[in-house]
């Protein structure tokens, strides 16, 4: 009888432990939507591995077409504010969660982080922006319209309020205009000298882990090294073809640990890295072509106990 009670008690502890798994939030990428077949399959894989895990897929609209369209049209800042309110309203997330997504979830950490993210994994994200606009698929007319509108006046007020890609477009040859006109990326990267927000740095440094995943053949994120906080150099004011890279004595990409953003720790990235919280990972393939690499990357960072 005592043995039976002991076994029952142990089983109860195991079950309680198994159900105390940290929740997971996922935020779909460009051209996708929260309830797409791919996103549902991804959630199913997590639930198969961790049956009791709670997974929330962030959406901007419950209408699938509008949710997909939100990846191209709208205000990044407003979408992040909406996502923060959505997350804060979910009881299962109130004690914190792990997250998979992109720079919008990083912006959530910096600006809100209430409830807090524990581990954040970003796949092919534009952390240092893009210096060229993504090429659209042949019949993706929503993307094509957004691309034309952005290219027409990428730093104009209308594009900066309504075209998502324009809001993380960072032209190394017009950096001064970017700093003055960009309404999203320059803010979350704390690049504007007299507008740096110390809360952003404190919040990002509070993460347990930031996992940055780069796709080796990425042609959507240009340069692809942006996923690792890499970027093209900012040329000297009077740059020529010969002096194009005078700002950097290495190759044509400035790596994360050579960025002013990192060296001067504008967003807490260096502090997080120095405590062992930044991990750089590679997926072989094109943008979001995860194949088998996602399991190896994600597994160490989700499914942990609260």
206 touches 199 (CB < 8 A): no
Alpha carbon distance 99, 173 (integer Å): 34
Q: Which residues form the domain of 108? A: 23-130+196-301
Alpha carbon distance 279, 214 (integer Å): 11
For the entire predicted model, the pTM comes to 0.86
Residue 9 lies inside a defined structural domain of this protein: no
CA distances from 103 to 3, 90, 121, 234 (A): 53, 22, 10, 21
Phi, psi of 214 (to 5 degrees): -110, 140
Residue 306 lies inside a defined structural domain of this protein: no
Cα 107–chain centre separation: 8
- According to the model, what pLDDT value does residue 247 have? 42
182 burial type by CB count under 10 A (0-12 exposed, 13-18 middle, 19+ buried)? buried
Residue 164 lies inside a defined structural domain of this protein: no
Residue 108 lies inside a defined structural domain of this protein: yes
Helices (H) and strands (E) in the chain, counts: 13, 6
Encode the chain (306 residues) as per-residue pLDDT tens digits: 332 232 233 323 333 344 689 999 999 987 788 888 888 888 888 888 899 999 999 999 999 999 999 988 999 999 999 999 999 999 999 999 999 999 999 999 999 999 999 999 999 999 999 987 666 776 676 677 766 666 668 899 999 999 898 999 998 888 999 999 999 999 999 999 999 999 999 999 999 999 999 998 888 888 999 999 999 998 766 444 444 444 444 457 899 999 999 999 999 999 999 999 999 999 998 887 777 787 889 999 999 988
Phi, psi of 305 (to 5 degrees): -80, 150
Residue 174 lies inside a defined structural domain of this protein: no
CATH no. for residue 96?
A: 3.40.50.1820
Residue 248 lies inside a defined structural domain of this protein: yes
| Cα-based angle 77, 195, 179 (whole degrees, multiple of 5) | 70
From the list 138, 143, 101, the residue with the least C-alpha distance to 302 is: 101
- According to the model, what pLDDT value does residue 132 have? 75
89 burial type by CB count under 10 A (0-12 exposed, 13-18 middle, 19+ buried)? exposed
Spatial neighbors of 251 by CB under 8 A, at least 6 apart, are none
Phi, psi of 133 (to 5 degrees): -85, 140
Residue 268 lies inside a defined structural domain of this protein: yes
Alpha carbon distance 276, 140 (integer Å): 41
Residue 189 lies inside a defined structural domain of this protein: no
CA distances from 229 to 74, 157, 172, 279 (A): 24, 26, 14, 12
Phi, psi of 97 (to 5 degrees): -165, 165
Alpha carbon distance 8, 31 (integer Å): 49
DSSP assignment, residue 256? G
Domain count within the chain: 1
């Amino acid at each position: 009888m005592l043995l039976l009670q002991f076994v029952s008690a142990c089983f109860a502890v195991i079950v309680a432990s198994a159900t105390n798994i940290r929740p997971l939030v996922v935020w779909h990428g460009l051209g996708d939507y929260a309830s797409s077949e791919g996103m549902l399959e991804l959630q199913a894989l997590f639930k198969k591995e961790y049956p009791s895990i709670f997974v929330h897929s962030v959406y901007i609209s419950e209408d699938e077409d509008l949710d997909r369209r939100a990846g191209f049209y709208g205000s990044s800042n407003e979408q992040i504010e909406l996502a923060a309110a959505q997350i804060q309203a979910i009881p299962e997330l109130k004690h914190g969660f792990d997250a998979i997504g992109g720079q919008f979830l990083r912006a959530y950490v910096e600006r809100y982080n209430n409830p807090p993210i524990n581990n954040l994994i970003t796949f092919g994200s534009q952390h240092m922006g893009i210096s060229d606009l993504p090429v659209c698929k042949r019949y993706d007319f929503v993307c094509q319209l957004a691309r034309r509108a952005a290219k027409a006046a990428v730093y104009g007020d209308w594009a900066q309020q309504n075209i998502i890609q324009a809001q993380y477009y960072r032209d190394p040859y017009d950096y001064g205009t970017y700093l003055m006109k960009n309404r999203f990326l320059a803010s979350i990267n704390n690049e504007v000298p007299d507008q740096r927000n110390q809360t952003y740095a404190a919040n990002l440094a509070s993460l347990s882990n930031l996992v940055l995943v780069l796709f080796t053949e990425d042609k959507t994120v240009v340069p692809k090294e942006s996923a690792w906080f890499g970027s093209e150099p900012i040329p000297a004011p009077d740059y020529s073809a010969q002096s194009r890279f005078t700002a950097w004595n290495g190759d044509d990409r400035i790596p994360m640990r050579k960025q002013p953003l990192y060296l001067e720790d504008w967003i807490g990235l260096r502090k997080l890295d120095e405590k062992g919280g930044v991990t750089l990972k590679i997926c072989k393939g094109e943008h979001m072509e995860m194949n088998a690499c996602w399991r190896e990357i994600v597994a160490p960072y989700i499914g942990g106990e609260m």
